[in-house]
Amino acid sequence: MAPLHPLRIKISGYEQSITRFGVGALCMIFQELQRCEMLEFDGDWTMLARFVPCTTALSFPQLRSFTASACLGELVQGIGLVSPILRWFTYALQNAPRLVDVRVELPKIGIPNVLPYRQLTVIRVHTLKVAQVTHILWLCPNLKELEVDILMPNQADFAHGAILHSNLQRLTIRSHLNWLADFTRSLALHALPVLRVFRLEIIPDQTLVYPRLPSSFFTMMRNLLSLEEFRLDSGLLCMHQTWCTDILELCPNIRSLEIDIEPGNDSEYILHLIQNLTIRSAPSRTSAPAFAPKLTSLHLVEFDTYIRPTYIFAFLDMVESRRDGAPGIAFERLAKAELRFTTRLDNDRILHCCISDPLIRQRIKLLSEGGIECSIGTLYRKTLAHIALPS
């Protein structure tokens, strides 16, 4: 007899929408949960409580990934109050020996005792307070990836505690800018020695008069010594001219940098970054290390800005300099460099002029032939001589 293959199961529905045929199907699904390796539950817990018969045999011996749209706090509240099935379901989750990846919503207070936290390696959670982030890091010593969608502030009297987490490698945070200071102050206290990837998405807030990154953000970045990939994606944000270069100075091991923002001021931070990344052979720098010596991928997007020809020429000068190098300066050459601007008629006109310049086209062609994927253009529309590497 051939072995039974693992199952991937998605349960979707709510108490009011379940028909008698749906009840039968739901019961059949629960009989096969022992074979389930990926379970997605899109519904409410009362649906389980009402329509699934109680069984002491419920278990998840093969389960590796669990996703739930309903808050786990509601599951805890329903245990013993609505139906014993919720108690068995929770017990099965707590004792799933292979469960490592969860995507859930947690209550606004506390972390419910529903999951085998110590063995989890990936957590993606919706709506979390900074204090809960700290608590998750403490509960999950083997965690390698944490993603928080909508980070919320703590109470004013919350005391941050320091944590050494030796396994976290990837961190993704989506937060309002006025809540970010609380998080960065907290994270600055923690030691994350192997964090390699940090992605930060800032939700636009039109009520802020001068939206800017808090000083605690840079204190936090200083502690991320192993960081190799950083992405900043933001709505309206007033950029200081040196912020991008500050990030690269604080994190010298960064290999990939992505900046995708809508600037709230006239800062020429992109030009400042490009100029600092340019390798120059001046005598005073012949024995100095290159700025951002390990950078191999650069992606810059700026909204609501006119393309300036000086940006295009400076960008190409920089990419060529990091291809050719200079005596005595050690660095890794770029593999990919992209520069994007908003779509405006003026930008299209400037791009058309650049495309018509055979010297510009030739420079980009030579970069591609040399193994560097280089592109300049407006976002979502025209691209200036984007030549992909041969497969």
CATH code, 310: 3.80.10
Residue 332 lies in a domain: yes
Whole-angstrom distance, CA of residue 212 vs CA of residue 224: 21
Show the domain range for 254: 240-391
Write out the two tokens for 365.
């062609």
Torsion region of 28: left, alpha or beta (phi above 0 gives left; psi -120 to 50 gives alpha): alpha
Distances (CA, A) of 38 to 16, 61, 239: 25, 11, 43
Residue 36 lies in a domain: no
Residue 353 identity: C
Q: What is the pLDDT at residue 172? A: 96
CB 195 within 8 A of CB 221: no
Q: What is the pLDDT at residue 158? A: 47
Whole-angstrom distance, CA of residue 255 vs CA of residue 297: 6
Q: What is the pLDDT at residue 346? A: 56
Residue 195 lies in a domain: no
Where the chain has pLDDT below 50, the residues are 1-2, 156-158, 381-391
DSSP string, 335-391: SEEEEEE---HHHHHHHHHHHT-HHHHHHHHHHHHTT-EEEEEETTS-EES--PPP-
Residue 97 lies in a domain: no
Residue 28 lies in a domain: no
Q: What is the pLDDT at residue 249? A: 94
Q: What is the pLDDT at residue 196? A: 98
Of residues 207, 217, 211, 208, the one with CA closest to residue 237: 211
Q: What is the pLDDT at residue 209? A: 61
Q: What confidence tens digit (pLDDT) does each residue in 286-335 have?
A: 556 789 999 999 998 876 556 677 888 899 999 999 998 877 788 888 99
Query: How many domains in the chain?
Result: 1
**What is the CB neighbour count within 10 angstroms for residue 190?**
20
Residue 383 lies in a domain: yes
Q: What is the pLDDT at residue 276? A: 93
Distances (CA, A) of 309 to 124, 188, 350: 42, 39, 7
Residue 200 lies in a domain: no
CB 276 within 8 A of CB 235: no
Residue 317 lies in a domain: yes
CB 342 within 8 A of CB 379: yes
**What is the CB neighbour count within 10 angstroms for residue 319?**
26
